[in-house]
Amino acid sequence: MVMSYHTQKVGTVNLFYREAGTSKLPTMLLLHGFPSAGHEFDSLIPKLEAHFHLLAPDLPGFGQTHCPEDFTYTFDHLTQVIREWLSDCELTHYYLYVFDYGAPIGFRLALENPQAILGITSQNGNIYREGLGKKWSARAKYWAHPTEAQRKFYESAFAPDTIINQYLTGTQPGTVSAVNYTKDIAFSAKGDYAKHQSDLIFDYQTNVALYPKFQAYLRQYQPKLLAAWGQNDPSFIPAGAVAFNRDDPNTRVELLDTGHFALETHADVIAKLIIETFDPD
């Protein structure tokens, strides 16, 4: 199979997405993180397309998905767009692959329609307070007492050097290609990107507030869950992966010697783990 690329109108949003694998196979929805887009799955998709029907959207405000000027950048709104897109696609059951920002969106979808979820891969997709690295204590202070100066400070998260460091921290020298972080840097230079992403940084507090509900979902429904985690990630630390075991006995935890963007170095390993864990054949 060959990966194909599509744009679909969802309300006022032109949603861009990648697709691979025949629709006769079980669907896996791949939800990317910050500051990336669906291209972060380009190394994984070819390794899974014989086993799953794969859909990887660019979230609103990221990559090649285009939103109107008055679009409100909150995680609830991003989830609404993805929910409406799934409905338009008549997709009723699917596996989730959630990473970073994709986790609170994916788990919102699971809360709203738990029967739709066939299984979950969480790759550094955190839903536990103990999984939050040191930087999050400073962000919590920002959420409690926001100022314009702090908002400007957090725009440094979109600087090229910061983006590169997100890819390289916790990895062995020479193991990460520049391809994906170069794309992310290019997208971050467009229009009001910094303003919209600053909105999402501030709104991230709503995700933390929902952690207890996400965890309650796991306790009630106990989906098969693979936590494939870059253990050297300073943002979402390994305790967040291990914590899944507390709420979901159907959890498999695999800590990998890499950083935040684990697919950059361990796509082969993660694909193998997914197939072993979820392949219906």
One-letter amino acid at 30 equals L
Question: In whole angstroms, what is the distance from residue 82 CA to residue 94 CA?
Answer: 13
Q: How far apart are the two ends of the chain, measured CA to CA in Å?
A: 19
Rounded to 10 deg, the angle between the 75-88 and 102-112 helix axes is 60
Active-site pick, 32, 53, 260, 266: 260
Provide the strand spans (E) within 154-222. none
Longest Cα–Cα distance in the chain: 54
- CB neighbour class for 2 (10 Å; exposed up to 12, middle 13-18, buried from 19): exposed
Rounded to 10 deg, the angle between the 75-88 and 193-221 helix axes is 70
Q: Is 260 a catalytic residue?
A: yes
Cα–Cα distances (Å) from 90 to 65, 77, 116, 160, 172, in that order, read 20, 20, 12, 39, 42
Cα–Cα distances (Å) from 84 to 50, 240, 252, in that order, read 27, 29, 31
- Annotated catalytic sites, by residue? 260
